[in-house]
Amino acid sequence: MYTPNEKRYENMVYNRCGKSGLKLPAVSLGLWQNFGYQSNFANMEEMVHTAFDLGINHFDLANNYGHPYNGSAEENFGRILDRGMRRFRDEMCISTKAGYDMWPGPYGDKHGSRKYLISSLDQSLMRMNLEYVDIYYHHVFDPNAPLEEIACALDQIVRQGKALYVGISNYNKEQTETIQQIFKELHTPFIVNQPSYSMLNRWVEEDGLDKYVEGNGIGLAVFSPLYQGLLTDKYLNGVPTDSRIGKGQTWISNELTEQMVEKLKRLNECAKARGQKLSQMALSWVLHNPAVATVLIGASRPEQIVENVACIKNLDFSSEEITNIRNILLDK
């Protein structure tokens, strides 16, 4: 029987998500990769245990996680809960999402209809054997679904007791502002947007999304803060065969140019000067944005989680460091 570390909450940093009452760990565990049907169960269970022992009590899933079979990540997480972690349910923040293709026919493809969102959550709860999730997201903006329908479906889910809070993912500033107005009218506990954001992907700054959510009581839960693994030291001296690029499991392989490698090496020197690895500095950089409540990390082994969580030991940046890093990022 799994027994968690008694001191698991002593070192983790917890941030309030927007202006809600919910606090999230600075680092959360995303189960997009390496928790699917073909993944090693013993390894994924050890990763979840390692995360929880380090104070990571937020686990982020989606109905389509678990390549090659949609839903298998939720099924595996349910098995992990059954094997000793379910008794700690009230210590965990469990989130899931729906919005991408799931099953054949017009009701299971990529969209945000009331029918899809409600039936998808029912399936997710069944796979994880949960009565409710803490946060339920619409996973991706759907130009073909009225935002009123999406908002009303998410509001209904909260009122049915199937989710405590709701969020959106992959919505820009304009889309976020529009749906928030509807949520306000409905008095829905809308607290979070989950966008991609990293040192190499700063669209939330250019779009103004970060400033908007900070000023309007919404938190950001950031995915891909390491830019699909590019912001690590694994690509500084070639492409390892066991990396995402080496396995052909990411779309960023074309971005690993000589110029990019040189930029990563310069960033790595900055990280060394801070007493951090490049990945740790990249996570600290994202968390330095006051709009960000948590960064969602992925992992293929427990040691990566331990390494990434160490970013919280140095979250501050001097003005000189910020200037230097920005100049490196802007150098084309």
Question: Which of 37, 42, 15 has its CA nearest to residue 26?
Answer: 15
Phi-psi region of 208 (alpha: psi -120 to 50; beta: other; left: phi over 0): left
Which range among 7-16, 60-69, 148-157, 194-203 shows the weakest confidence by mean pLDDT?
A: 60-69
What is the pLDDT, as a whole number, of residue 239?
Answer: 62
Q: Any bridge partners for residue 219, and if so which?
A: 192
Residues 99 and 139: beta-carbon distance below 8 Å = yes
Strands (E), the chain: 14-16, 23-25, 27-30, 58-60, 93-98, 133-138, 163-169, 190-194, 219-222, 292-297
pTM for the full predicted model? 0.94
What is the pLDDT, as a whole number, of residue 4?
Answer: 96
What is the pLDDT, as a whole number, of residue 47?
Answer: 98
CA-to-CA separations, 84 to 49, 60, 89, 134, in angstroms, rounded:
10, 19, 10, 20
Centroid of chain to Cα 134 = 14
pLDDT band at 240 (very low <50, low <70, confident <90, very high): low
Tell me the pairing of strands 14-16 and 23-25.
antiparallel
- Count of residues for the chain? 332
Report which secondary-structure segment, H or E, holds 9: none
Task: Give me the chain's average pLDDT, please.
Answer: 94
- Asked if residue 111 has pLDDT above 70, the reply is yes
- DSSP symbol at 85: I
| Domains of the chain, first to last | 14-228+283-313 (3.20.20.100)
pLDDT band at 250 (very low <50, low <70, confident <90, very high): low
Structure tokens at 208: 């103004």
How far apart are alpha carbons 101 and 19 in whole angstroms?
Answer: 32
How far apart are alpha carbons 211 and 153 in whole angstroms?
Answer: 27
**Burial of 330 from C-beta contacts in 10 A (0-12 / 13-18 / 19+):** exposed
* 154: Cβ contacts below 8 Å, ≥ 6 apart: 117, 136, 138, 163, 166, 183, 188, 190
Any idea of the CA torsion for 283, 89, 303, 279, to the nearest 10 degrees? -10
What is the pLDDT, as a whole number, of residue 129?
Answer: 98
Residues 12 and 26: beta-carbon distance below 8 Å = yes
Angle at 180 between CA 295 and CA 217, to 5 degrees: 50
- Asked if residue 249 has pLDDT above 60, the reply is no
